[in-house]
Amino acid sequence: MQIKAGYTLRYTCPQPTPMLLALNIHPSRRQDLLTPQVLSFSQQVEAWDYTDGFGNVATRITAPAGDLTISTEFEIYDSGLPDVVPTDAAQHHIRDLPDETLVYLLGSRYCETDILGSFAWSQFGHIPPGWQRVAAVCAFVHNHIRFDYQLADRTRSAWGGYTQRVGVCRDFAHLAITLCRCLNIPARYCTGYLGDFGMPYDPGPMDFSAWFEVYLGGHWYTADARHNKPRIGRVLMAIGRDATDVALSTQFGPAVLSGFEVVSLEVPEGSQRAGATG
């Protein structure tokens, strides 16, 4: 399948404000691009990319005073296959984990492993390790938190999601990640596009989506406590310890996100492009 994706974001700044942007697709999906994915700005700004410590392509700018619109639109190939469900994927002993996965066992800004550790072991310790334990975590979080877009709170952590039992996709991801880390399963936060492919039509406005990945059997596998079922058409943008590392924008000064539009739609067959850009 081919997907048309992109966004239009508008920031209002009372003064020139440096920003870090995590608005590019992940390098692992670049080979699937059918058209270039380039950030466009409504005002003249100096912008340059760099690779952050998690392998994401981030962009540095200084937003001028006033309104600045940042946008992109691109088409990308996707297999159309649902997320892999690795039912036989084994859990590693900590001593056998690759060094680079260890950071995803630690607590972080939104993932308080020190608070939820005892609960995690009492709730899931009897379940066989590996994917079966991950699936149990996802099922618990899916049923424990009520999705409510109107109650989104960027300060809510995994503990907040657990106690308040309400949130949006990032809250589902944070709680599931935290519980997996407590159970010695490396888990990392993911953000990207996820259209309603293969799902009932949703007339509401689109948004970016959050899910997570777990390291089992020598591979990273997608997990999604928000939907708790395999989905198709994910386009990864960035990975990190939690939402702090993959924020759409990190502002070093006052700035307001005053406009927000995201799109992720399947390209009709007659309009599809041949070949990828490489």
At 117-141, the pLDDT tens digits run 999 999 999 999 999 999 999 999 9
Q: How many CA atoms lie within 13 A of 138 on its CB side?
A: 21
Higher pLDDT, 176 or 203: 176
Helices (H) and strands (E) in the chain, counts: 4, 14
pLDDT of residue 278: 43
* Residue 86 binned pLDDT confidence (cut-offs 50, 70, 90): very high
Residue 169: name the closest of 152, 181, 150, 182 by CA. 152
In the chain, the amino acid numbered 63 is A
Average pLDDT of the residues of the chain: 95
- Rounded CA-CA distance 135/243 in Å is 22
Can you list the domains of the chain with their CATH numbers? 2-78+247-268 (2.60.40.2250), 94-240 (3.10.620.30)
DSSP state letter for 276: -
With both helix axes pointing from N to C terminus, report the angle between 131-144 and 113-124 in degrees, rounded to the nearest 10.
110
- Rounded CA-CA distance 247/185 in Å is 24
Alpha helices, H only, 26-157: 113-124, 131-144
DSSP state letter for 28: G
DSSP state letter for 278: -
pLDDT of residue 271: 73
At 43-83, the pLDDT tens digits run 999 999 999 999 999 999 999 999 999 999 999 999 999 99
Around Cβ 65, how many Cβ atoms within 10 Å? Answer: 12
